[in-house]
Amino acid sequence: MMSYELEFDPRALQEWRKLDFVFVRIPHPRALLALRGTAADAGVP
């Protein structure tokens, strides 16, 4: 696992971080619906 990380292209890692940032900051609509659904189940409006 470590050797794979060391061989990983830093530019590709930056791209993954950008994707990760997008997915974390701007959740997928389905994820929002799922969160909203679980919140409704928990009694949160």
Domain boundaries, the chain: 12-45
Q: How far apart are CA 21 and CA 4, in angstroms?
A: 22
pLDDT band at 29 (very low <50, low <70, confident <90, very high): confident
> pTM value?
0.26
The confidence score (pLDDT) of residue 5 equals 55
pLDDT above 90 covers a percentage of the chain that reads 0
More confident residue, 35 or 23: 35
Q: How far apart are CA 1 and CA 8, in angstroms?
A: 11
More confident residue, 34 or 28: 34
DSSP string computed for 18-33:
HHHHHHHHS--HHHHH
The confidence score (pLDDT) of residue 26 equals 60
| Residue 18 near residue 10 (C-beta atoms within 8 A) | no
Q: How far apart are CA 30 and CA 13, in angstroms?
A: 26
